[in-house]
Amino acid sequence: MSLDRPKAPEIEDLGRMPFDPVHAQMLEICESIRLGYSDGKILLVEHEPVFTAGRATPQAELSEKILPIERGGQITYHGPGQLVVYPILRLPIRDVRAWLRRLESFGVAICANFGLTALPSQDGTGVFVANKKVASIGVAIRHWINIHGIAINIDMDLTPFQEIRPCGLAPDIMSNLSSQAGRSISMAAAKAAVPEALTSLLA
């Protein structure tokens, strides 16, 4: 069943911020959409270092340093050099799997902007370049409104991934766009690629 499509959602660049206040803002926007006060917003952020755990995380992998949250998926790391895109929007159609595929297509489009050939995962949870994971996806859906989104590794220190099993995978599978492109890609350049890539998400 089709829903109203988002109307030219605003993109807000939050810069570099801790996770908690951004999480609170996501929930506020979601509630505003539910009440009919907002068509939604797309948040761009570079988080301060944090480990978060989705609903599918095995209990044995949780610890005091890992923040449990409501998104799907398992443990991941957010930190400087990673662009996190949170599309807080009504789903274009009531199909969560199709929405995950759109998020993957968005990630693939970002990679293509920098000359990288990327492939979506088989389970709707990420984007790969040359068999290395460069983007992770995890969402929660409330009243057919999306919260959370996609984290794209642009030019970041990958060492913290060694402390976890990112999305249930071996940590050595993680990479970033700069490494795969063989050149430094700036956060500003990555953010500039977002508006065009959003056609893959919202079309």
Give the pair of three-digit tokens for residue 47.
Answer: 């988080």
What pLDDT sits at residue 7?
A: 56
Is residue 167 annotated as part of the catalytic site, yes or no? yes
Alpha-carbon span 82 to 61, nearest angstrom:
23
Which residues partner with 66 through β-bridges? 51
Domains in the chain (CATH in brackets) are 10-202 (3.30.930.10)
What pLDDT sits at residue 8?
A: 64
- Per the residue annotation, which of 167, 174, 194, 197 is the catalytic one? 167
10-residue stretch averages of pLDDT, the chain, 203 residues long: 58 98 98 95 98 93 94 95 98 94 96 97 88 96 97 98 92 96 98 95 84
Kindly write down the DSSP assignment for every residue of 73-140, as one continuous string: S-EEEE-TTEEEEEEE-B-SBS-HHHHHHHHHHHHHHHHHHTT---EE-SSSSEEEETTEEEEEEEEE
